Amino acid sequence: MSDGANEAFLKRQLAMYHHPDATRRDVMNVLKRYHSLSHRMETFVFNDGLQKELFNLHGTIPVPFKGNYYNIPICIWLMDTHPFHAPMCYVKPTPEMEIRVSPHVDNNGKVYLPYLHNWQPKTSDLLGVIQVMTCCFAESPPVFTKRRPAVNPVGNSPGSQTATTTPYPTQSYMPMPGGASGTAGPPYPMNNSGRAPLPYPLAPQTGGHFPPMQSMGTPSYPAYPPYPMGTPQVQPVQDTGIETSATETGTITGEHIRASLLSAVEDKLRRRLREQCQQAMAESETLRRTGAELAHGKQRLDIILSRLEKEQMELEKSTVILREKEQELSKAIARLEEQKTIDVDDAVTTTAPLYKQLLNAFAEEAATEDAIYYLGEALRREVIDLETFLKHVRTLSRKQFTLRALMHKCRQKAGLVG
């Protein structure tokens, strides 16, 4: 299939994806590089039973191992949000192969790579995934040939259910339902009835009647009968001719009514005044706490501002120093470019034969240490056998010990032992 026809076919297959153009470009880069890979839409079954039509690349990739290239069968599933989320990679062994479990491949064939874990939409792509898999598989092959055929009691080929071992990564990018973000709560706490409480308590409702005066610490007045209609009786005293008040006869006078009204008004004013005082005290307490919090916040802000000013001054000083060093470096580079090429061996000279002997011993000891390291790497990669490794390491270690003893003695003679 030509590139144009292949791209048109991919466009139809990836129409359901969220970013079809970016996904198509990523897939085309892989198909142009690896001709042994094919693509198709298949049903992917997740652990929770959810089925979803996803695009996958399947086939083989060449992996070098011990001087030869081996075709490793793989399958790469692309999420419908590609390239904003990492793909799922699997090793799909043939019936003659078995999976070799390693830190990068589990017993179901799922591939785990740091490249997939640290997937970045703008810098990561499928070509990079395959290249990283090639490097990892070159160090530790994910499959090997069966020594004897294994009987599968279910009758399915190994790896046929590998797709069901990885759940759909909803937690990484799908919002959880029932979230309360963006919902503004009430500006004050709610009470048990679900209504917002009033900022201050209301005056008690007494149906227009006032409490007795005993509650306020004042003497109470006796109750009076209803005021009779008509004019109060005033009886003359026959002997003196002076009129007596109705109090002597038990009749309500205007003074009694006036005292009762004054008592009621005084009671009501006292209660109103007490309510106003309580409200003012509550407001003043709230303002006091707010003022204390603001003062504390001001102190913190002053500390932060002073620290920022100090850091800014240090940064300006560092900037000036950096510019000076940059100018010195530019001058040094220009001066070195004007000079001729310097031989390293001629540049490193000593002032005395003892120092020259110390320098040569140090260089030879460092080379011996490197040789021992690379012998260990060769043994790890199975390039040499254990007997050869031990033979050369024994010789080099003896030489290294002699060189270190020589350096120690030279430093003693030169007075450099600290």
What would the pLDDT profile of 87-121 be if each residue is shown by its tens digit? Answer: 999 999 988 889 999 989 998 899 999 999 989 98
User: What are the tens digits of pLDDT across the range 280-294?
Assistant: 999 999 999 999 999
Share of the chain above pLDDT 90, in %: 46
Instruction: Specify the pLDDT at position 1.
Output: 60
- Mean pLDDT for the stretch of residues 5-21: 86
User: What are the tens digits of pLDDT across the range 155-166?
Assistant: 444 444 443 333
Question: How many whole angstroms separate alpha carbon 314 and alpha carbon 296?
Answer: 27
Report the DSSP beta bridge partners of residue 27: none
Q: Is the pTM of this model over 0.75?
A: no
- Mean pLDDT for the stretch of residues 68-75: 92
Query: Across the chain, how many H-helices and E-strands are there?
Result: 9, 6
Instruction: Specify the pLDDT at position 386.
Output: 92
Residue 74 and residue 59 in contact, taking contact as beta carbons nearer than 8 Å: yes
Residue 110 and residue 162 in contact, taking contact as beta carbons nearer than 8 Å: yes
> Is the pLDDT score of 27 beyond 80?
yes
Helix (H) / strand (E) element for 69: namely strand 68-78
* Burial annotation 111-139 (CB, 10 A radius, 16+ → b, else e): bebebbeebeeeebbbebbbebbeebbee
> Is the pLDDT score of 309 beyond 80?
yes
User: Is the model more confident about 319 or about 347?
Assistant: 319
Instruction: Specify the pLDDT at position 13.
Output: 86
User: What are the tens digits of pLDDT across the range 358-417?
Assistant: 889 999 999 999 999 999 999 999 999 999 999 999 999 999 999 999 999 998 888 886
